[in-house]
Structure 1
Amino acid sequence: MGIAAKFQRGDVLVAACPSREVLQHITSRWGVLVLIALESGTLRFGELRRKVNGVSERMLVQTLQCLEGDGLVNRIALEVVPPHVEYSLTPLGREAAEKVRLLTDWIEGNIPRLLKAKAAP
């Protein structure tokens, strides 16, 4: 059986599974935040950087490149003066954003409990 056939669905617990790389891109700190920020719609690079507070330009570029490579983000370079680039979620990206949104909503809703557990000896 070839590797492509073996990973028709994917198995994240197998070291050679390509789903691990995608998982890393989606669940990185900036990957999660970019997906959530783009849920609201198309954003220019500067708008996205302001919305994802604290991300450096370099990290945002890297994150966007990874997510674009995974088919989760669309990048459109507009030939206007001055030139600018817009980013949006693909249909696959919208699905991924829904999933990470569930996790982030749970974290935000449980932050008092999480902080209390973290502070416990």
Structure 2
Amino acid sequence: MKNKLNENKPIYLQIKEQLEDSIINDSLKPGERVPSTNEFAAFYQINPATAAKGINELVTEEILYKRRGVGMFVTDKAKDVLVSKRKESFYENFIKPLKVEASNLSIRPNELVEMVMREEQGNED
């Protein structure tokens, strides 16, 4: 868990995103138990209902599942679902605007690819 929460975004979303990040970077693996709403509440000194809202969204999205009396756990398909969702978000938020700006600047698709590849090659040093 991160030590601080950001004031620019709802707390429940930050908790949800922390769990998503932990699953994507393999800090939390399939079948592993995630911190409980009470653990989040105690750590961040927040209302347990706030933490529950973020966790429950992940249950709805089938990223987590509940084992009654035991806790919440990461589903087997969680990482694949999250990576797919983030790729689509990346496309919508970065690639589409990039293509629009490239078009505005009369940059042809092959030139755009060359620019990306040039950056890639520059980072290999």
TM-score (ref. length: structure 1): 0.40
Q: Determine which structure has more spread, i.e. the larger CA radius of gyration.
A: 2
User: 1 or 2, which has the higher strand percentage?
Assistant: 1
